[in-house]
Amino acid sequence: MPHRPTVSIMELSVSDSEAGPYGITAGPDGAVWFTMVHHGRIGRVTPDGDNTSYQLEPASSGPSIITAGPDDALWFTEFRSHRIGRITTAGDIASFPLPTSDAGPFGIAAGPDDALWFTEASADRIGRITTDGHVTEFPLPISGAFPSAIAPGPDDRLWFTMNQANAIGAIASDGVVTVHSLPTPASAPVGITAGADGALWFVEIGSGQIGRIAPDGKIDEFALPDPGSRPHAIAAGTDGNCWFTEWGANRIGRITPDGRIDEHDLPSPSSEPHGIAQGPDGAMWTALEIGTIARLTTH
């Protein structure tokens, strides 16, 4: 039997408790970058704790998910101002408005085509933006789906969760969308990531489960010990496992490719973990809404 990892968790204060650290990603500069959804800021923190942040205009833009782009910059969604943002590692910011008003962009990921792909949660569309700002939008075949997180799959498609349609979607580069309904009703999937096993792993915030979908559409679901734990985001680690946040239970979980789950309590109570990502240092990093970033190392 594999041993349960010993996890050390260190918290780094990066903002006041009102800023709402939310999305997080590894940058090309050896630092971790994150969004502060309530204050409209993009933050940067190094593994040794140096942190800085950059103000967006307007401050009410609602930066949500952030990812490293193919151009050595960071790209993020502005959920409330309906734009896609870009920030260089030097802090230079640009924003690109979307053709669809009130689109509600939320998830974003770099695709296999050197463009960024994103979800339009409020418009039932998937968007694509080139690094020079050209936007294309693709409609989904379902209305009211609330497409949420998005991740590149092993099959050159982008895979995304449809939070209100209880489904996982995949979109090809030509805009063709395939929909896979989930077995559990009202599971409300949110985060999704490509696992080391050639499948996509996602979290079901409504049912307290972790899901796995193979490129051919085969779905497995793994129940968490606490069905009310509200798993929110998930990220693959170099250890071959996936790590996820339990927003409602103040924990970080790990799931192995064969579905074994272990969980680790966060040090601060009610810290509201949101985004999670593997950092440039090999540790797992998670954004806590109380104003800190937690770094998890395994032994």
Q: Which of 38, 82, 274, 299 is catalytic?
A: 274
Mean pLDDT of 32-52: 96
Nearest one of 186, 108, 98 to 147, comparing CA atoms: 108
> pLDDT category, 5, cuts 50, 70, 90?
confident
What are 64-115's pLDDT values in tens digits?
999 999 999 999 999 999 999 999 999 999 999 999 999 999 999 999 999 9
Rounded distance between C-alpha atoms, residue 204 and residue 223, angstroms: 9
232 in a known ligand binding site: yes
Residue 18 assigned ligand-binding role: no
| Residue 78 is assigned to a ligand binding site | no
Active site (annotated) includes residue 274: yes
Going from N- to C-terminal start, the domains of the chain cover 7-298
For residue range 8-31, what is the model confidence (pLDDT) as tens digits?
A: 999 999 999 999 999 999 999 999
pLDDT tier at 299 (50, 70, 90 boundaries)? confident
| φ and ψ at residue 36, rounded to 5 degrees | -120, 95
pLDDT in tens, 191-227: 999 999 999 999 999 999 999 999 999 999 999 999 9
Read off the amino acid at residue 49. G
Buried b (16+ CB within 10 A) or exposed e, 14-36: bbeeebbbbbbbbbbbebbbbbb
Domain formed by 7-298, architecture:
7 Propeller (2.130)
Q: Average per-residue pLDDT in the chain?
A: 96
Query: Is-contact 168 159, C-beta < 8 A?
Result: yes
Reported pTM: 0.97
**Percent of the chain topping pLDDT 70:** 99
The per-residue pLDDT for 243 is 98
Q: Nearest-5° angle of CA 201, CA 22, CA 126?
A: 55
